[in-house]
Amino acid sequence: MSQNRLIKEINRLESTKPIKKSEEYWAELGPGLTTGASDDDPSGIATYSQTGAQYGFQLLWLSIVTFPLMAIVQEMCARIGLVTGRGLAGSIRTHFSKKVLYICTILLFAANAFNIGADLGAMAKAVQLLRPSLNYSPLVIGFVVLTLLMQIIMPYARYAKYLKWLAMVLLAYVASALVAHLNWGDVLRQGVSPSIHFTRDQLLLICAILGTTISPYLFFWQTSQEVEDKIQKGETTVASRQGTDQAAVHSMRVDVWSGMFLSNVVMFFIIAACGAILFPHGITNIQTSAQAAEALRPIAGNITYYLFAVGIIGTGLLAIPVLAGASSYAVSESFKWREGLYRKFGQAHAFYGVLIVSMLVGLGINFLGIDPIKALIYSAVANGLVAPIVLALIVLISSNRRIMGDWTNKRSTTWLGWTVTGMMSVAGAAAIVSIFWH
């Protein structure tokens, strides 16, 4: 080979390195990415929109502070799945009182069903923003049918890829903020400068942000998806799935921290967009994600409006299967039923039955006259009761050397885990008190 040809070949190989690295990085992403993306569901979007509309950029810093906290929790959940070969409910059943697990599972099912109902309604309203002529009821029913068919009929490997790519719809919210001509000096300054007004309303909103960011359904879904990934690799028994290695843990950490980063970046840009557009115009009462899109349109124009509306539909399609799936995993593992999206319907009737019932309860909420905001309030109460208990169990399991072996928590991780548990206990108590003593 001549010197010129050798140089060209070297240059060609060098030029392909970034592409190969990108492909390798994308291949490592999976359960963590979809878990993080599902956290920005339509109800979460409404909470973040209200934060920006009511307080401008003042609470932007929460999107930065909550990132490591939720990432540490989700990493503990993922590690439990990798090491034990069981979902979170299965590990809790093995090492703790079944009564505690049953109570948590019932409350989780209720919280997720109410959340599904609110998200279905938000998606239907978002479609109506784009096509006002379409009727609400058929849209809600259509979304239920679509999400059930995807989970029941679609092979798990293809379904997981679909969720992975659907997570990219969250970039619509980044785009919506970029076209809004933000004052980036103010945005960055408030983002790194914690500021709180110790008023009742602001403290309750902070609790709502913590509740929608660090949610119990994420814990169960993350752990079970790590197990599903192992099963896809041929590890079909609990014994064969137990244990992990450095390479698997490294890939998991890349995946989890990337997913939580995406989730919080989107949270940051939603707050920033609403803080820049709605807050200066005195539009401070945003209760749903659809209201946020409608309020943005007269001020920010059609592009921001359409991006918000499309984002609501896309995040709902991602989050609703995760909410229903988390309930199915938790209930099935609690009662030792056959579970897993990798199984066909005929192999796991009870698992898919729970999933279907979750969706039907969510559907019913939209036809029983239950206001979507009230549905989210009921969900917040259930999550407020469940989250601290489940978080405590997660920290206890992941820091137990008898269970986790060499993959037990570091002291700093355990300390941060208990810190998050304490914060969520306060947030849950505050949410419940505010609802019953308003």
Domains of the chain in start order, with CATH, are 28-436 (1.10.4160.10)
Q: What is the rounded distance in angstroms from the CA atom of residue 46 to the CA atom of residue 371?
A: 15
Cα distances (angstroms) measured from residue 127 to each of 140, 185, 199, 408, 418 = 10, 35, 36, 46, 41
- Token digits for 184? 């980036």
Residue 264 pLDDT: 93
Question: Is-contact 32 165, C-beta < 8 A?
Answer: no
In terms of DSSP H, where are the helices of 278-371? 289-300, 302-334, 349-365
Least Cα distance to 320 among 133, 41, 56 occurs for: 41
Distances (CA, A) of 94 to 76, 221, 397, 405: 17, 18, 10, 16
Residues of the chain with pLDDT under 70: 1-20, 300, 373, 377, 434-438
Q: What pLDDT, on the 0 to 100 scale, is given for residue 414?
A: 96
Nearest to 69 by CA among 262, 260, 323: 260
- Phi, psi of 165, deg, nearest 5: -70, -35
Please answer whether residues 82 and 226 qualify as being in contact, where contact means their C-beta atoms are separated by less than 8 angstroms: yes
Q: How far apart are CA 426 and CA 416, in angstroms?
A: 15
Residue 40 has a pLDDT of 85
Q: What is the pTM of this model?
A: 0.89
Sign of CA dihedral 54, 49, 35, 379: positive
